[in-house]
Structure 1
Amino acid sequence: MNRTADGRLPVLIVGGSLVGLSMSLFLGRLGVPHLLVEKHSGTSHHPRGRGNNVRTMELFRVAGVEPAIREAASVLAENHGILQADTLTGSDQEWLFKEIDPGGALKRFSPSGWCLCSQNDLEPVLLQHAKSLTGELRFSTELLSFEQDADGVTALLRNRETGEEQTVRAQYLVAADGPRSPVRERLGIGQTGPGDLFHNVSITFRAERLAEVVGERRFIACYLTDPQGAGALLPVDNRAHWVFHAPWHPERGEALEEFTDERCIAHIRAAAGVPDLEVEITGRAPWHAAQRVAERYRVGRVFLAGDSAHEMSPTGAFGSNTGIQDAHNLAWKLAAVIGGWAGPGLLESYGRERRPVAVATGERATARSAEHRHPGYDVTPGTGRQRGVLAVALGYRYPAGAVVGADPDGPAVPENFAADGSPGGRAPHVALRRAGVSISTLDLFETVPVLLAGPDAHAWHGAAELVGKRLGVPLTAYRVGTGTEHELAPEADADFTAAYGIAADGAVLVRPDGFVAWRSADAARDPETELTRALEAVLCLR
C-alpha cells in the first residue's frame, strides 16, 4: 500500500458495498492510493438495487467498466417497464410505463443507456476492477473507532476473522457505511426529512412454473394489488429465480419472524393467482424505505457518501445512483487536493453540491412511490403523472460550489431536462472524432480539467497551456472543428458550439467529473487573465 511521506494513507474508505466500491474504482482510476474496509465477508448475495440510470452508466463507461456490467446484466437486458396488476393472472393489468427509453430518443443526449443490473451482480464487477488499481480492499474488517485532528484521521480497525487490530493513519476518511452509519453517529450529524415511509420484506424464491404465468411480459417489476398478495414481483433470471417484496408493518407490532415459509408461499401464490404454484423460499431480508438527508456531508477530514448521507424511497432506484454519483463528485476533488493542484477549500464544495441534489431527488423518489402506489406505502398520490424523470437522472445541477457563473437561485433538480452547456450542469454529449476514432465529449472528462474551445478560439487554446503551467494545474485543451489544426472534429450531424452555448471563438471549462465549471460564450480581450480567474475560483487556488 502506497503511503505519503509521513506514513499516512491518502484515503480510508469505510464500507464496501456499491458506493464504497465505486469510490475505490474512481480513486483508483485517478491514481490515488487508498484502503477500503468492509465488515462483511464479501459482496452482496441478495438481488437488490438493480436500476442503474443513464448518468451512472456514463460514469462507469468513462471508468472502463460499462461493458463488463452489461455482460453481468445480460439476463435482464430485455426487461423494461413497470406493470401494475391485481394478480398476474387477473384482468386488471396496467403498464405504468412500458419502455425506459421509448423510440431510443436517449441516444441524442448520451452515449450510454439505462442498465438493469442487480447489486449482487454489479458489486463483483466493481470489486474486480477496483482491485486491479491503486487500492487495497479488505473484507471481514470493521472500523472500531476513529479520531481526527488538523492533519489527518487515526482509525482503529479489526479483522473480524482473526480478531487482530490495527491502527491506520489517513489523510481523509470516506464513510460509505450505510443508512445506520456509525461514522455519522460518531460525528453527531443529524438528519432532516420525514423519516420512515414504509417497510417491506424482500423474499427470494424459486418457482419454475412462474415463468409460464408471466409469459412474454418482461417487466422490471410488477406491483400486485390484491390484498391477499400485495407486493412487488421482480425477476432475477426470467425463469426460475424471483424476488417478492411483501409489505411489512412493524409499526403495528408485526414481527419479522411472522414471515414464515408457509406465509410467504401463500402470499406469492395469491399474487400470482395460482393456488397450487410450487414455491421454494430461499431467503428473506427486511428493508426500510425512508426519506432522510444528513445535515452535513463533512466534518473536518471525514466525508459521508451514499446511504450514510441520504436515504430515499426505492422507486426509481434514485438512492443507489445518487450515492454512486456522490462518490464520483468527491473522488476527483480528493485527487486534486492530494495531488496539490487544488486548494483544500475545494473539498467544502462536495456537500454544497451534493446535499441539495439529495434533498430534491429524495422528494422526487417519495412522490414516485406514491404515484406508483408502491406496496406498503399507504398514501394518496398527487394529481397527474410525474414528469421530468430524465431531469433527475441526467439533469441535476450544482447552483453553488466549484462552479463560476451558475445561477445561484436555480433548482438542483429542474422540472424538465435541458442540456445547454451552462455552468453547474453536466457537460452535454456531442459525438466527435479524435484521430479518426468516434468518441463522445464525455469520454474526455475523468482525470483533469478540460478546456473545450470553438473552431476559431485559438486564443483560448493557447492561453490554456500557459495558465495551466503557471498555476500547476494539469489542464488539457482541445479545439473542436473541421480543420487540420483542430484536435477534435464533430461528427457530420453534431453541432458542438450550439450544444455548449458558445460562439466559434468561445470556450468552456469542464471539471474531471464532466460538469461545466465555467464558460465564455465568445472571445475575451485577455483570455489568460479570464481563464486564470476561473481556475483559481473553481479549484480554490486563491
Structure 2
Amino acid sequence: MTKEFDVEVPVLIVGGGGAGLTASILLSRLGVESLLVTRYPSTTRLPRGHILNQRSMEIFADMGVASDIRAQGTPPQNMKGLGMYSGLAGGGPKDGHGRRIGLIEAWGGGYDDPDYVAASPEAATNLALLRIEPIFKEKAEQYPQATVRFNHELVDLDQDADGVTATILNRETGETYTVRASYLLGADAGRTVGQLAGVKLSGAHKIRKLIGLYLSMDLSPYLAEADDAVMSWIFNPEFPQHLDWGGALVPQGPAWGRNSREWVLHVSGEGMDASQPEKMLQWGREALGIPDVDIEILGVQEWWMESTLADDFRAGRVFMLGDAAHKVSPTGGLGLNAAIQDAYNLCWKLAAVLDGRAGGALLDTYTAERRPVNQANIDASTQAAHSHAGMNEAMGVSPDKSVEENWAALRLFWEDGPGAEERRHEFSQWMSKRTLEYHQINTDFGYTYDSAAIVGDGTPAPVPLDAIRLYQPSTRPGHPLPHAWVERAGERQALRELIHGGHFALIAGEDGHDWVEAATKIAEQRELPLRATRVGLGKVDFVDVRLAWTKQREISATGAVLVRPDGHIAFRSTASVDDPVAVLSAALDQILHTAVAE
C-alpha cells in the first residue's frame, strides 16, 4: 500500500534561524519529535542579531547551550556599554582621533549593575547569529527526536481539523515530498508560512534603510579607549555630511574590544545601495575617518527598519514565531530575544497538548501572552529610536559647521576650556535618554503574562516606577519567578533551575508540607513533570542562603507558588488552605485547560 504522506511527524518547523532551531532543541528536550526545514543551504553567513539578554541566556541554560554561547561571546569586561568617539584618523588634530565623547552602560554594564545581578543568574552577552546558529544546529542534530534539513523549502501547505499537510521542495534534487504534521511552526521571518496561512502583519513597513558592512580589519591602533564598548558610534568632523548618523561599529570577534578582527559597520543615508559595496565602504571610511586602513569586505546586508505585528500568532494549527510574527526596529536588540522567548512560551504547551496532559485550548494562550509582550517591545524600541534625536546638538556638532568648528566642539569633551563643563553636562543629560534603549531591563526581562493559563489571585497589578527601565520582582501570577540562589547539601543553584527540562515547580514556604504532598500526589496522578519543594530557612529542602527568596516571595511560611515550565508564576496562595489537593487541582485544570477526575 502506498503511503499517503512521505513523512509524518508531530511538529514541522519551517525556518532554521534563531527561533526555528531553538524550537527544535526545546521540543527534543521535551520528548517531541520534529522535522525542521529551511530553504537555505547553510546557517547564515552574515552576523545578524547579536545582543542576547538575560531572559534569553536563562533559556539557553535550560537548553544546555549557555556555556557554548559564553565561550564564544563577548566577555563582560568588553561589553560595559555603548561608546561614542571622535573620528578615528584623518587630517584633524591627532590627539583628538578616537577619543571618547561618552559611554553609557548597556545591558547591565558587563553584569556590574546591581539591578541586573539581582534579576537573574545569567548575564547578558553579545554573539551574532553567524556564530549562534552553528551551535544550535549542532545541538539540535544531537537529538534522535529531531530531523534537520537545510536546502529544503516549504512550497505549499494545507490544513484541516486534524493537522497540516506541507509540500517540501528538496532544492538540491528538485524533488518534492509531503509532510503530515499535527502542528506547523512558522519561523521563516514571514517569507512563506504567513502568506500561505493567511497571517497579516500590521504596522510600519520600510521605516529606514540600513546597510551593514561585514568587514575584516585591524582597528586596534585607533580604538584605545573602546575596549569596554560592545558597540561604538564614531563621529568624524572631517566629513560633516555624515555627522547626522556617523558610523556604528559592532565587534564580531573572535578577539574582542579593539582587538576584534571582524566588525559590522552600519551606515545609513540617501542613495545607499548594497549592490555597490565599494561605494558603501567608501562612505563608511569617511564616516569613521579611516581612509588608509586595509579592509576586506566579507559580506554586505541591506535591510529595512520595520515595526510590524501579526494580528494573531496562530492560524489554525500554524503558529508564527520571531520575525514571522513581529518585526521590531533594532534599537534595544529586542528582535532575536523575542524570537527565542516566543519558542520558550510555545514549546512546553505543544508538548503538553501532544502528550494529552493539556487541552488544545492551551495553545490559544500563545497569542494572548506573547502578542502584548511584542507590542510592548515595539513601543519600547520606538521610544528608544526617538531618544536619538538631539544627538548632534548635545555634542555641539552640525553638518552646517566647518571641520574646524566641529573639531573644536568635540575637543571640549577631553580638554578643559570655556564652556567645557556645560557641554559635557548637556551631553550627559542627553545620554540619560538613551537608557530607554540600553537599560530596558523591564522590557527585556520583567514582562508579565495575563491569560487563561494564569490563575489570578485578585491582587492589583503593581504600577511600575518606570515600565521600561525598572524591573520590580514579584510572585504575583503572570510575573517571572524572582531570582534567588538556594543551596542543598552544600551545592548552590539558581531557584529557576527547578523548572529546567520542562518541569512545573511548586515552591512552598518552610511550613508548606501540605502543598508539597498535594503537588506530589497530583503529579503522580496526571503524570505531570512537576517538582515540589520547600524553600526558606531551617529544615527545608533548599536553603535560602541570601534570603533573596524570603524577601521577594510575597507568601507566608505556609503558602506556595506554582511556576510554569517557562518560568512564569501560574498560581499563588499566600497561606495554607483547607484542601490543597482540590485547590491545586483546580488551578492546574485552568492552566492546562483540562479536567481530571479525582
TM-score, normalised to structure 2's length?
Answer: 0.82
Segments of 5+ residues of structure 2 without an aligned counterpart are 1-5, 90-95, 254-258, 392-429
Matches within 5 A, 1:349-364: 349-364=365-380
User: Matched residues, percent identical?
Assistant: 35
Residue 335 of structure 1: SS of its match in structure 2? helix
- C-alpha distance after superposition, 1:476-500 (max 9, x if no partner): 211124455x322221x22424322
- Cα distance change on mapping 1:423 and 1:374 into 2, 3 Å: farther
Matches within 5 A, 1:58-207: 58-74=58-74, 78-89=78-89, 93-102=100-109, 103-105=112-114, 106-133=116-143, 134-178=145-189, 180-207=190-217
Residue 220 of structure 2: SS of its match in structure 1? helix
- Cα distance change on mapping 1:77 and 1:146 into 2, 3 Å: farther
- Cα distance change on mapping 1:9 and 1:373 into 2, 3 Å: farther
RMSD: 2.6
- Cα distance change on mapping 1:97 and 1:490 into 2, 3 Å: same
Quick check: 2:536–2:550 contact (8 Å CA) kept in 1? no
Choose which of 397, 420, 426 in structure 1 pairs with 2:474. 420
- What residue number does 1:305 align with? 321
- What residue number does 2:232 align with? 222
Quick check: 2:39–2:153 contact (8 Å CA) kept in 1? yes
Deviation at 1:193, TM superposition (A): 2.1
Segments of 5+ residues of structure 1 without an aligned counterpart are 1-5, 376-380
Give the Cα separation in 1 of the matches to 2:67 and 2:376.
31
Deviation at 1:13, TM superposition (A): 0.3
- What residue number does 2:346 align with? 330
Give the Cα separation in 2 of the matches to 1:171 and 1:221.
43
Residue 136 of structure 2: SS of its match in structure 1? helix
- Cα distance change on mapping 1:399 and 1:382 into 2, 3 Å: farther
Give the Cα separation in 1 of the matches to 2:364 and 2:518.
28
Residue 213 of structure 1: SS of its match in structure 2? coil
Greater mean alpha carbon deviation, residues 330-339 or residues 228-237: 228-237
Quick check: 2:88–2:288 contact (8 Å CA) kept in 1? yes
Give the Cα separation in 2 of the matches to 1:61 and 1:346.
25
Matched, 1:25 2:25: yes
Give the Cα separation in 2 of the matches to 1:365 and 1:329.
22
Choose which of 213, 222, 247 in structure 2 pairs with 1:213. 222
Deviation at 1:139, TM superposition (A): 0.3
- What residue number does 2:557 align with? 504
Deviation at 1:77, TM superposition (A): 6.1
Quick check: 1:400–1:408 contact (8 Å CA) kept in 2? no
Give the Cα separation in 1 of the matches to 2:478 and 2:178.
40
Residue 16 of structure 1: SS of its match in structure 2? coil
- Cα distance change on mapping 1:265 and 1:191 into 2, 3 Å: closer
Quick check: 2:20–2:187 contact (8 Å CA) kept in 1? yes
Matched, 1:449 2:504: yes
Matched, 1:403 2:441: no
- What residue number does 1:478 align with? 533
Residue 519 of structure 2: SS of its match in structure 1? helix
Quick check: 1:207–1:279 contact (8 Å CA) kept in 2? yes
Matched, 1:437 2:491: yes
Deviation at 1:472, TM superposition (A): 4.3
- What residue number does 1:520 align with? 573
Deviation at 1:75, TM superposition (A): 6.9
Give the Cα separation in 2 of the matches to 1:300 and 1:144.
18
Give the Cα separation in 1 of the matches to 2:307 and 2:268.
18
- What residue number does 1:466 align with? 521
Residue 341 of structure 1: SS of its match in structure 2? coil
Give the Cα separation in 2 of the matches to 1:175 and 1:408.
36
Give the Cα separation in 2 of the matches to 1:408 and 1:439.
31
- Cα distance change on mapping 1:267 and 1:192 into 2, 3 Å: same
Give the Cα separation in 1 of the matches to 2:233 and 2:496.
36
Greater mean alpha carbon deviation, residues 358-367 or residues 211-220: 211-220
Larger Rg: 2
Quick check: 1:26–1:63 contact (8 Å CA) kept in 2? yes
- What residue number does 2:292 align with? 276
Give the Cα separation in 1 of the matches to 2:265 and 2:372.
33
Deviation at 1:501, TM superposition (A): 1.0
- Cα distance change on mapping 1:427 and 1:76 into 2, 3 Å: closer
Give the Cα separation in 1 of the matches to 2:435 and 2:299.
34
Deviation at 1:10, TM superposition (A): 1.0
Residue 197 of structure 1: SS of its match in structure 2? strand
- What residue number does 2:407 align with? none
Deviation at 1:147, TM superposition (A): 0.6
Give the Cα separation in 1 of the matches to 2:585 and 2:471.
31
Greater mean alpha carbon deviation, residues 196-205 or residues 286-295: 196-205
- C-alpha distance after superposition, 1:79-132 (max 9, x if no partner): 331123452355784335145424341222211101111111111111111111
Give the Cα separation in 2 of the matches to 1:305 and 1:489.
38
Give the Cα separation in 1 of the matches to 2:553 and 2:573.
10
Amino acid in the other structure paired with 1:466: K
Deviation at 1:51, TM superposition (A): 0.3
Greater mean alpha carbon deviation, residues 507-516 or residues 360-369: 360-369
Residue 370 of structure 2: SS of its match in structure 1? helix
Quick check: 1:291–1:310 contact (8 Å CA) kept in 2? yes
- What residue number does 1:539 align with? 592
Greater mean alpha carbon deviation, residues 152-161 or residues 392-401: 392-401
Deviation at 1:385, TM superposition (A): 4.5
Amino acid in the other structure paired with 1:165: T
- Cα distance change on mapping 1:76 and 1:201 into 2, 3 Å: farther
Quick check: 1:18–1:123 contact (8 Å CA) kept in 2? yes
Quick check: 1:506–1:520 contact (8 Å CA) kept in 2? yes
- What residue number does 1:245 align with? 266
